Amino acid sequence: MDRINAKVDVAADDPRIADMKVVETMWTGREKIDDDGQVVKDNARCVARGDLHSKHYKVTANQTMSPVVRTPSLNSIDAVSVLRRQHVAPFDVPGAYLQGKQRAPEQIVCRAPVGFRRYDERGIEILWLMLNPLYGQSDAGAIWNRTWNEYVTDPPPGCGYERCPHEPCVYAKRLGDPHEESGKDSYLTMPIYVDDGRLLYDPTEAACAEAKADRERLTGEFGIEFKSIDPKEDYFLGANRRTSDDRSSCTLSARTYIVDMGKRFFPDVDVSVSSAALPASWSYTPADDMLVQAWEDATTRRPSAPEPLVKKYGTLYGAVLHASKYRPEILAAMGLLGSCLTIPTERLFYCLERVLVYLIRTQNLGVTYSAHSPHAYRLRARADSNWSERRSTTGWVILLAGGAINTASRRQHCITMSSTEAELVALAEAAIELIHVDGTLAHIGHKRDGPIAVGTDNKGAHDLCHRFTSAQNSRHIDRKMFKMRELRGAGVVTVEHIPTEINPADIFTKILSRQTFEKHRRTVLNLVGTDVPAVRGGGCEPGG
């Protein structure tokens, strides 16, 4: 803090702080790990008591809100990077919150942590008048985000990027005629997640020179530590990123995170070895009819679960759910399991363990983006629903560079009266997400040259996206469900009717058999070749 002049030492009776309440601080620490799960270094920080800060200084929720980049947007950036063969330079901002530029009304007074307190010659305690926010300070994230945004978007000596209106933590810079989009312009893209970011830039002379200048600017302003450019193996925000030599393909997986989960929840068991308790079949699908039956039993009886079961179920569920960002094929199973967080049963917990075992045994799988995939440059979407007498399930997948950049599997917010209405709900939700995805892609240099191809396997929903009719089975449908029809009329999308057998969104709406599951998983993850490892002890080979 002294190095960056983050505070001023003041006596407790200094008139400058007479009306300011004191916020306590304390020391905390955490381990920083690499992509192999090894501890790289130990970080120690002096943090403020955020609860006291909010109470003493009456900080509102709007003052503390700070955006971070969404995982689907990071996936979109990775997909575009392989299509444009962009260079990648990961970076980390050291002590990011301490570098936030605090305004006078945002200043606070802190007491040093135990063991570091000092007194002047009169015996009056020395306090800290903070010029920069401390970690733990409730509005520190918002202040840092504002500081970063102002510098990155300001013209030189700033970086001169433009903030994405659809994704506030994605910044892009276009090099070329500012009044004309030639199709040959170079792009630089910079997503940021608090203090972790990446600089991606086209392999053109102009972009490389501008990227070098930006790295120097950011290092000079924030002391940013850039890692090696174009790493073949990278670990960023919990994702393992593996890139080809020519940067035309990359694979995102959660291998490191999944391995750590295995050590945490199965510390004394080698789950790669099949057994009566951990069958070989768990290597191929995350769930089967047992989960459906256990879910129906729990939601029908709604049992009163003991507190230890509720706690361990919720802990394991939260840990596994995080992996779904890069392993979306488990979302349908996680949707059923998540609806029973307050009414878990031992059978449901057993099914939840199966999902984790499946992930561990297929830990190297992930979404692959490739410029060589069929229709790689075209944005495509598929939507589906699983109609139910209760609330139906919506599923969709948005594809670019061959792999899924955005997926969803969730219960619908209303009870639909027909399968057509349920499909229209799914299409409407997918349409809203497509607007966001299309805008984000355009901002980072991927502008579509035609409408987005959207597929549905419901003939009624397909027809209602192409015509205005009012029939017995459709007149009850809320007009807001026709968002996809609006986009089709505007030329943003084309709506195609596709067979259920080739609709990959089916994997997000229901529990599927192994053959169907593996077929749709191959599409969603853009898998090539044999993708399921053999399991020791069960005598089963891939595909056997």
pLDDT, one tens digit per residue, over 24-68 is 999 887 776 666 667 767 777 889 999 999 999 999 988 889 999
pLDDT, average across residues 71-92: 95
Helices (H), 85-239: 140-153, 205-222
CA distance 357 to 48: 40
Q: What is the pLDDT of residues 345-394, one digit of tens each?
A: 999 999 999 999 999 999 999 999 999 999 899 999 998 888 765 778 88
Which of 20-24, 95-99, 495-499 bottoms out in mean pLDDT, i.e. has the lowest? 495-499
User: What pTM did the predictor assign?
Assistant: 0.87
Which of 251-255, 282-286, 385-389 bottoms out in mean pLDDT, i.e. has the lowest? 385-389
Candidates 108, 143, 101, 105; CA nearest to 128 is: 108
pLDDT for residue 389: 57
pLDDT for residue 109: 93
CA terminus-to-terminus distance, the chain: 61
pLDDT band at residue 183 using 50, 70 and 90 as cut-offs:
low
Q: What is the pLDDT of residues 103-115, one digit of tens each?
A: 989 999 999 998 8
Q: What is the CA 477 to chain-centroid distance, rounded? A: 33
pLDDT for residue 442: 93
Residue 179 pLDDT exceeds 80: no
Residue 257 pLDDT exceeds 80: yes
CA distance 83 to 437: 16
Residue 463 pLDDT exceeds 80: no
pLDDT, average across residues 114-133: 91
pLDDT, average across residues 93-102: 90
340 in Cβ contact with 295 (< 8 Å): yes
pLDDT band at residue 537 using 50, 70 and 90 as cut-offs:
very low
| pLDDT over 70, % of the chain | 88
pLDDT for residue 288: 94
H or E element that contains 42: strand 39-48
Residue 114 burial (CB count, 10 A): 10
143 in Cβ contact with 100 (< 8 Å): yes
Residue 462 pLDDT exceeds 80: no
Residue 476 pLDDT exceeds 50: no
Q: Give how far Cα 463 sits from Cα of 260, 458, 470, 472, Å.
A: 48, 9, 12, 15
Beta strand ranges found along 116-238 (DSSP E): 126-130, 162-163, 170-175, 186-193, 196-201, 225-226, 233-236
pLDDT band at residue 169 using 50, 70 and 90 as cut-offs:
very high
CA distance 429 to 412: 10
Q: Sketch the domain layout of the chain as residue ranges.
A: 7-252, 256-362, 373-523
Q: For the chain, what is the mean pLDDT? A: 86
284-316 core/surface letters (b: 16 or more CB in 10 A; e: else): bbbbbeebeebbeebeeeeeebeeeeeeebeeb
CA distance 454 to 397: 10
pLDDT band at residue 331 using 50, 70 and 90 as cut-offs:
very high
Which of 35-49, 301-315, 369-383, 458-472 bottoms out in mean pLDDT, i.e. has the lowest? 458-472
pLDDT for residue 436: 92
pLDDT band at residue 159 using 50, 70 and 90 as cut-offs:
very high
pLDDT for residue 468: 59
Longest dimension (CA), the chain: 88
| pLDDT over 90, % of the chain | 62
pLDDT for residue 475: 46
pLDDT, average across residues 289-313: 93
CATH class of 373-523: alpha beta
pLDDT for residue 544: 31
pLDDT for residue 458: 75
pLDDT for residue 35: 60
pLDDT for residue 177: 56
Which of 43-57, 309-323, 355-369, 484-498 bottoms out in mean pLDDT, i.e. has the lowest? 484-498
Q: What is the pLDDT of residues 212-241, one digit of tens each?
A: 999 999 999 999 989 899 999 999 888 999
pLDDT band at residue 540 using 50, 70 and 90 as cut-offs:
very low
Residue 280 pLDDT exceeds 50: yes
